[in-house]
Amino acid sequence: MSETAAEPKMAITVDFSGGLEMLFSNQRRHALSIPAHDKDGKPSNIAFLISHLCKTLMKDPRTDLFVLDDHIRPGILVLINDADWELEGEEAYEIQPGDNILFVSTLHGG
Partner 1 sequence: MTADTGAASAAPMKSNDRRLTYEEFERYSRQMIVPGMGKHGQLRLINSRILIIGAGGLGCPAAQYIAGAGVGTIGIVDGDTVEISNLHRQVGHATSRLGWKKVDSLIAHLKDINPLPNYIPHPFHLDPQNAADIITQYDLVMDCTDNPATRYLISDVCVLLRKPLVSAASVQKSGQLIVLNCPPAPQGLVDKKYPPCYRCCFKKPPPPSSMVSCGEAGIMGPVVGMMGVAQAGEAIKIIASALHLPPSSTNDLTAPIPERNLQQPTLLIYTYDLESAVGPYSFRALRMAGRRKNCFACGENSTLTLEGIKTGNPNYVTFCSPPTTDHAL
Q: Are 77 and 64 in contact (CB under 8 A)?
A: no
11 binds partner 1 (CB under 8 A): no
Name the DSSP letter for residue 28.
Answer: S
Which residue number, 39 or 108, has a Cβ lying nearer to partner 1? 108
Burial 7-40 (b: 16+ CB within 10 A, else e): eeebebebbbeeebbebbeeeeebebebeeeeee
53 binds partner 1 (CB under 8 A): no
Which residue number, 36 or 79, has a Cβ lying nearer to partner 1? 79
Shortest Å distance, C-beta 68 to partner 1: 7
* One-letter amino acid of 65: L
84 binds partner 1 (CB under 8 A): yes
68 binds partner 1 (CB under 8 A): yes
Name the DSSP letter for residue 109.
Answer: -
Residues at the site binding partner 1, with contacts judged by CB under 8 A: 15, 17-19, 22, 26, 28-29, 64-65, 68, 73-77, 79, 82-84, 86-87, 102, 104-110
